[in-house]
Chains A and B, each alone.
Chain A
Amino acid sequence: MSRDYEVIVGLEVHVELKTATKLFCGCEAAFGADPNSHTCPVCLGMPGVLPVLNREAIHLAVRSALALNCEVRPFSKFDRKQYFYPDLPKAYQISQFDEPLAEYGWVTIRPASGEGRRIGIRRIHVEEDAGKLNHLGQRLGDATGSLVDLNRAGVPLIEIVSEPDLRSAEEARLYLTELRAILSYLDVSDLRMEEGSMRCDANVSLRPVGYEGALEDLSRVEIKNVNSIRNVQRGIEYEVERQAEMLLRGERIVKETRGFDDATGRTYSQRSKEEANDYRYFPEPDLPPLVLSAEWIESVRQALPALPDAIREALVSRGIPPKDAEVLVLDREAYQYWLQATERFEDDRLVTNWMLSDVARLINARGESYAKAAVGPDGLVELLELIGSGKISGRMAKEVLEAMFETGKRAEEVVKEKGMSQITDEGAIRSIVEEVLKQHPAVIQDYLSGKEKALAFLVGQVMKQTRGQAKPDLVNQLLKDVIHHDYNTAQ
């Protein structure tokens, strides 16, 4: 396929804010309760109720906006977006239309090839979430009924709308990954795409080379509600391919909303935008405009934590390889684990190596996370200290770490129970070395004739005799010494 078009992608990301209560009432906002147990007259849309804005939600939204380099408007307002659906109790969603909370931000993405690139954020606005429908039956098509759960109705959301600056599915992935990382450091949301606390719609269109019209006029396809970053990427990849083929065949691309099928990796048509809703937005008369003072906005800015860009820089300046730094920075829990560990242990590189290899492997295998790992940063530091003091070898430490994860015991305890201790007594090792050499004269000859592997065999034999507790460097050294001293000249 000839590449005579450019991929244009814009993303709309909905993020549920981690407040104790909902946006306009005192109900708990937490996920996972019994259906309709987190409801009250206000979020059920009973006759006569009125919304009261949750201050904390605005605080979290402003934190997010500032961290994403947005300008926060000193004056914004709420509007009603109107449509009928059983998960929307008032038949309107309180949102922000033409005067959103914040505008003109950006996120920097770093494609593998080339420079970092700023992706514009057009706007961030605050709105309430809708409830959820649970359809009875196998598929929506033959559902026998639908149950409405309004626990989520009224949970605060921010919608982060990017400019159509993304040029590939990979860039969309980078943008989402970076966005999620930034928000994770702010601690404003659970950010769980599988639970719906972060949701993404992707707008995809192709711009033929030489096209000079407005981007808005290109036929745009919106892929709705994809449940993971990986699937957003897959959906865009598929959509680019599909649209490109249509263009090649000379077909017109229809402006529409499409879903993404995880199993097939394809998008499928949901509804045509030509017959789109008229949401009849108008200013919400039940809420006064939101007026934020410059001083307050500034105080929120001052209280922002260290964000990924600053952290990357700090890690690299501490000698962490950029690739490792990237892994740490994209997982806030990993970074916090790392921070705590390196506070107590000098060697940043060693901590990083252990974390990103053995600790990461065990956490993944056990389905844990850094924040809830069976072995926390203190445990890891204790283990590293045992290696540093020469009590155990690095190889032994791997076994000890596994046991620590398994039993929850501390490093020292595991070592004691297993009867492990590195034999560092030169005399003791020397006598074992001499014994082993006596038994393998042929191997000695191999070694002396230049076969390096022969030495490794001999080291293995000594380790076997000491049940792995001899210090490997020392064994190596002693084998060479004794061979050269006792056997070389005997030739």
Chain B
Amino acid sequence: MSELWAMDAYALHEQFASGAISAEAIVKAHLDRIQAWDSTIGAFLFVDAEGALRRAREEDAWTLDERRRRPLSGVPVALKDNIVTRHMPTTAGSKILGAFLSPYDATVVDKLMDAGAILIGKTNLDEFAMGSSTEHSAFHPTRNPWDATRVPGGSSGGSAAAVAARMVPVALGSDTGGSIRQPASYCGVVGMKPTYGRVSRYGLIAFASSLDQIGPMTRSLRDSRLVYGVIHGSDPHDSTSLTNVAEPIPSQEQRWRIGLPREFFGDGMDDGVRRVIDQALESLQGLGHELVEISLPHTDYAIAAYYLIAPAEASSNLSRYDGVRYGMRASGGDLLNMYETTRDEGFGDEVKRRVLLGTHALSAGYYDAYYLTAQKVRTRIREDFDQAFQTVDYIVTPTTPDTAFVLGARSDDPIKMYLGDIFTVTANLAGIPGLSMPAGLAAGLPVGLQWLAPPLFDAALLDAAETLERVLQPMPWPEEVKA
């Protein structure tokens, strides 16, 4: 039998539910793994060893029937630290929350617990999920398990790195413009952003409310399906969660028409990435699928629209961190002074940059030119996809134009950092589901392939990607964190 920490969630749950292994052993194996490697990687902001072991022993007392009825029993899960938890601190990667302990659990936390998951810790992220490298965490950067001089991507870099380094089989991330898919791509794992409204946002610390979506990060597609199955569903606490929407029935054809958007395969793509993607496309053809060139003509405006809408919403969502009720409070001075000093000391530069940008975009006299225009672009982008999905079943693209970059390489150039989101932001703007799966290595670094599907085709998307997973070479082990 292979090491427990090397198994995926599906296998761990099966072994636990059949009584072959104990939850305590599973948790201990993963805690050991964290102990051994997280000082190198820095994926976690908080590890609840005691809580996880206590929960594991409780689960060990369950009958086999009880274990089987809970699809994630015996499975350790990590949460991106912008998902609130009552029994672990929540920081959102920021100093401004201080020693904040949420008085309630996020809906996804309740769902995971009901499904038998064992929460093991909270993972690092760019502050308030704003960033693409996890360098903007107020605490420490996270490093890529494939090359510790490189970033894991972001903002869910802690979750991606923890899963890639086998410190946990499953982690949740959140994706506002690619924050699940891009780090999944950089770290060689599967990351899924469901259709907007599929997974409750209640308890996800809001970055951009109309774009945010929680999703699974795993090492196999079957694990993503397992976790997506647990966390999705309507929630009375989230008015934007979809109610009573059944999974649509996908085409029963064994051969799909797969769209390749011209705008995603142009210049600026790394050669190594192109080679890996081309091979994956050949594999898809080998499966009998038809590759069709399509156009998503408004893609060029997506980054501009995204970097107006997301900061605008963020500037509003982050206003509540004012030092009055919880979190950090700067002392001295009058009320205005307290507000200013608290927010000045509490927020990092990237957050400030976006709050300023968003505040400006919503200001009287600028609203129409910026926010409203961006919303119009958003409508066009959605229409582009509607039109494309009239003729193709799925769309496939590289997840990112490049592979993981070296720490600090883009720190001084936010625009360059923003442009890296070009392939992922459109799915958020359109509200459609997307996932990134590992397609191979370029110069020893993982390359992600992105799948996009029409709204609500979440389960179908997972199935489709899995057909490719079966024929691709399995990913080798990350260099930095060998057994």
CB distance from B480 to the nearest CB of A (A): 33
CB distance from B144 to the nearest CB of A (A): 28
CB distance from B163 to the nearest CB of A (A): 23
Q: Is the beta-carbon distance between B203 and A285 smaller than 8 angstroms? A: no
Chain A residue with the shortest CB-CB distance to B326: A46
Q: Is the beta-carbon distance between B362 and A282 smaller than 8 angstroms? A: yes
Q: Is the beta-carbon distance between A278 and B320 smaller than 8 angstroms? A: no
A186 at the interface (CB under 8 A from B): no
A44 at the interface (CB under 8 A from B): yes
| Centre residue among B97, B210, B236 by max chain A CB count within 10 A | B210
A45 at the interface (CB under 8 A from B): yes
B240 at the interface (CB under 8 A from A): yes
The B-contacting residues of A in range 282-304, CB under 8 angstroms, are 282, 285-288
In the bound complex, how far is the Cα of B325 from the Cα of A90, in angstroms?
A: 10
Contact of A286 among B84, B103, B236, B240 (CB under 8 A): B240
Chain A residue with the shortest CB-CB distance to B319: A91
Given A86-B324, A91-B320, A280-B359: A47 in contact with B239 (beta carbons within 8 A): no
Which chain A residues border B84 with CB–CB below 8 Å? 46-48
Given A45-B320, A48-B84, A287-B239: A84 in contact with B339 (beta carbons within 8 A): yes
B35 at the interface (CB under 8 A from A): no
In the bound complex, how far is the Cα of B238 from the Cα of A41, in angstroms?
A: 14
Q: Is the beta-carbon distance between B104 and A46 smaller than 8 angstroms? A: yes
Which chain B residues border A41 with CB–CB below 8 Å? 102-104
Quick check: which of B47-55, B115-123, B363-371 contacts chain A, the rest being far away? B363-371
B205 at the interface (CB under 8 A from A): yes
Which chain A residues border B237 with CB–CB below 8 Å? 50, 52
In the assembled complex, 21 residue pairs joining A and B whose CB atoms fall closer than 8 Å, in A order, are: A45-B320, A46-B84, A46-B103, A46-B104, A47-B90, A47-B206, A48-B102, A48-B205, A49-B202, A50-B237, A50-B239, A52-B239, A82-B362, A86-B322, A86-B324, A148-B324, A278-B364, A280-B367, A282-B316, A285-B313, A288-B239
Q: Is the beta-carbon distance between B312 and A92 smaller than 8 angstroms? A: no
A80 at the interface (CB under 8 A from B): yes
A181 at the interface (CB under 8 A from B): no
Which chain B residues border A49 with CB–CB below 8 Å? 202-203
Which chain B residues border A286 with CB–CB below 8 Å? 206, 209, 239-240
| Centre residue among A45, A90, A285, A288 by max chain B CB count within 10 A | A285
Q: Is the beta-carbon distance between B362 and A48 smaller than 8 angstroms? A: no
B256 at the interface (CB under 8 A from A): no
> Shortest 9 CB-CB distances between A and B: which pairs?
A91-B319, A285-B209, A285-B210, A280-B362, A48-B203, A47-B205, A48-B84, A45-B320, A278-B364
Which chain A residues border B206 with CB–CB below 8 Å? 47-48, 286
B471 at the interface (CB under 8 A from A): no
Q: Is the beta-carbon distance between B103 and A52 smaller than 8 angstroms? A: no
CB distance from A147 to the nearest CB of B (A): 11
Q: Is the beta-carbon distance between A46 and B339 smaller than 8 angstroms? A: no
Which chain A residues border B97 with CB–CB below 8 Å? 47
CB distance from A90 to the nearest CB of B (A): 5
| Centre residue among B104, B205, B208, B239 by max chain A CB count within 10 A | B239
Which chain B residues border A285 with CB–CB below 8 Å? 208-210, 240, 313
In the bound complex, how far is the Cα of B371 from the Cα of A162, in angstroms?
A: 30
B409 at the interface (CB under 8 A from A): no
B307 at the interface (CB under 8 A from A): no
Q: Is the beta-carbon distance between A46 and B239 smaller than 8 angstroms? A: no
Which chain A residues border B193 with CB–CB below 8 Å? none
Could you give, for residues 81-112 of chain A, a 1 whenever the CB lies within 8 Å of some chain B CB and a 0 otherwise? 01010100111100000000000000000000
A253 at the interface (CB under 8 A from B): no
Given A86-B324, A285-B210: A48 in contact with B339 (beta carbons within 8 A): no
B418 at the interface (CB under 8 A from A): no
B461 at the interface (CB under 8 A from A): no
CB distance from B53 to the nearest CB of A (A): 27
Chain B residue with the shortest CB-CB distance to A25: B237
B61 at the interface (CB under 8 A from A): no
A53 at the interface (CB under 8 A from B): yes
In the bound complex, how far is the Cα of B239 from the Cα of A45, in angstroms?
A: 16
Which chain B residues border A281 with CB–CB below 8 Å? 362
CB distance from A58 to the nearest CB of B (A): 13
Q: Is the beta-carbon distance between B202 and A282 smaller than 8 angstroms? A: no
Which chain B residues border A196 with CB–CB below 8 Å? none
